[in-house]
């Protein structure tokens, strides 16, 4: 029977990061991917400065991707354009189509010494409540630790109870690639007032992320806390938003059929005997903006470091680290997600956020989690205070999905 130190299920950014870092540290790693290297993944493709930092740490060369210098936010007639803050992270972002980006991270894992196995769907090997490894193509592979990086709600994640907390918000999004005369723009654009076919404001947000080479990533999304969420049809919403920005972005035709996906933002059980979950499977998605690539790369590195430090306690050490490093921010962001589900309050908050470039930069720092909490500055202090204040409103903010009626009933893709 084959035996390895670490078996990784899923070769996306989280799994490939874990495999690369563990292999570099001398661990034997088997990286299982059900598809092939370079498979596509529905995503906005945006890399914030936090994600760029982790890519550089891993040794990835991002020069092939379109550079992004900042963010443009539109809400009604108000538009603010700001550069990335020059602080805890380098003031540079990128738009990296996931098929290319994922292939790059997979290759980093292979080059680091991981045994990459494509077209290899793996399931968990569980006995007496402990994960002993994986089963792939009918063969058992024993592992000291199994890293589940196969995405939110995947069979492996469900098998160990790593499922969405039912009372927490979640997101839905859809994106497509479309030709544009402004594909070389150096700012990502977000629209917080998306109009429906009749011109009325619909719940949700839209984005246009320029990818260079004549292409942009365009999409729309919504949080489950938003009013009338259950009535949303993302296909119709994307059509309306595309029409809304067609002239300003010089849009042509979609290159392929748009794809939709779900974004769980709070997961129960991140680890147990012989296993952990990382990336989307661990619910490490920023509720403020739906971003997850940076946390995928970081969580992969964290579990590798925990295993290399002490294999026997890696699962417990990783879970403690995630609670310390991420839970305070994510808890505050989830509470904020409940707040912005109230239209009048959302409009009030948008008015404050877009009032000056100073407030917009502050909001960008917080929402993109570009804060160095060891040297927090105004953004960090605001985040801490906001988290404490919002926590007082938990009994009012948190409602069950059933009571709020926020289960979508229409197709999303």
pLDDT, tens digit (0-9, with 9 covering 90-100), for 168-222: 778 889 999 999 999 999 999 999 888 877 777 777 789 999 999 999 999 998 8
Which residues of the chain, if any, have pLDDT below 70? 37-39, 337-346, 372-413
Cβ(286)–Cβ(369) under 8 Å?
yes
Residue 248 region by backbone torsions, left for phi larger than 0, else alpha for psi between -120 and 50, else beta: alpha
C-alpha 239/C-alpha 271 separation (Å) is 40
Supply the pLDDT for residue 229.
75
Cβ(4)–Cβ(28) under 8 Å?
yes
- In the structure encoding, which two tokens stand for residue 288, read together? 């403020």
C-alpha 177/C-alpha 127 separation (Å) is 44
C-alpha 291/C-alpha 137 separation (Å) is 34
H or E element: which one contains 66? strand 66-68
- 199 contact partners, CB below 8 Å, separation of at least 6: none
Supply the pLDDT for residue 39.
67
Supply the pLDDT for residue 365.
75
C-alpha 297/C-alpha 18 separation (Å) is 8
CATH code of domain 2-69+89-165+264-328: 3.50.50.60
Residue 362 sits at φ, ψ, to 5 deg, of: -65, -45
C-alpha 360/C-alpha 103 separation (Å) is 34
Output the pTM of the full model.
0.88
What is the chain's length?
413
Supply the pLDDT for residue 281.
94
Supply the pLDDT for residue 413.
30
C-alpha 4/C-alpha 72 separation (Å) is 47
Supply the pLDDT for residue 339.
67
Residue 399 sits at φ, ψ, to 5 deg, of: -125, 155
The gap between the terminal CA atoms of the chain, to the nearest Å, is: 42
Supply the pLDDT for residue 238.
94
């Amino acid at each position: 029977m084959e035996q390895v130190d670490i078996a990784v299920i899923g070769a996306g950014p989280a799994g490939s990061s874990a495999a690369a870092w563990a292999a570099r540290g001398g661990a034997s790693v088997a990286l299982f991917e059900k598809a092939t290297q370079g498979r596509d993944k529905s995503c906005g493709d945006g890399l914030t400065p936090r994600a760029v930092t982790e890519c550089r740490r891993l040794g990835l060369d991002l020069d092939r991707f379109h550079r992004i210098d900042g963010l443009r936010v539109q809400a009604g007639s108000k538009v603010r354009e700001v550069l990335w803050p020059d602080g805890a992270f380098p003031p540079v972002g990128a738009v990296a189509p996931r098929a290319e980006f994922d292939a790059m991270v997979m290759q980093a894992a292979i080059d680091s010494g991981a045994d990459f196995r494509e077209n290899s769907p793996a399931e968990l090997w569980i006995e007496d409540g402990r994960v002993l490894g994986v089963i792939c193509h009918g063969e058992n592979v024993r592992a000291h630790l199994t890293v589940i990086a196969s995405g939110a709600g995947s069979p492996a994640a469900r098998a160990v109870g790593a499922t969405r907390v039912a009372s927490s918000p979640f997101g839905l999004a859809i994106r497509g690639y479309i030709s544009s005369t402004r594909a070389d723009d150096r700012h990502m654009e977000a629209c917080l007032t998306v109009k429906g076919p009749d011109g009325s404001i619909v719940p949700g947000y839209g984005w246009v992320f320029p990818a260079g080479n004549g292409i942009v990533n365009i999409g729309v999304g919504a949080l489950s806390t938003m009013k009338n969420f259950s009535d949303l049809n993302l296909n119709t919403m994307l059509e309306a938003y595309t029409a809304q920005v067609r002239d300003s972005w010089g849009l042509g035709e979609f290159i392929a059929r748009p794809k939709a996906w779900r974004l769980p933002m709070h997961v129960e059980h991140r680890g147990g005997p012989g296993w952990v979950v990382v990336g989307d499977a661990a619910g490490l998605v920023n509720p403020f903006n739906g971003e997850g690539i940076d946390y995928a790369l970081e969580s992969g590195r964290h579990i590798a470091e925990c295993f290399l430090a002490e294999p026997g306690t890696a699962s417990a050490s990783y879970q403690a680290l995630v609670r310390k490093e991420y839970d305070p921010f994510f808890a505050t962001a989830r509470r904020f997600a409940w707040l912005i589900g109230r239209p009048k309050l959302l409009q009030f908050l948008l008015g404050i956020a877009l009032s000056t470039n100073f407030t917009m930069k502050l909001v960008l720092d917080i929402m993109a989690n570009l804060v160095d909490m060891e040297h927090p500055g105004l953004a960090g202090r605001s985040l801490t205070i906001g988290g404490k204040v919002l926590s007082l409103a938990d009994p009012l903010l948190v409602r069950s999905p059933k009571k709020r009626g926020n289960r979508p009933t229409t197709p999303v893709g």
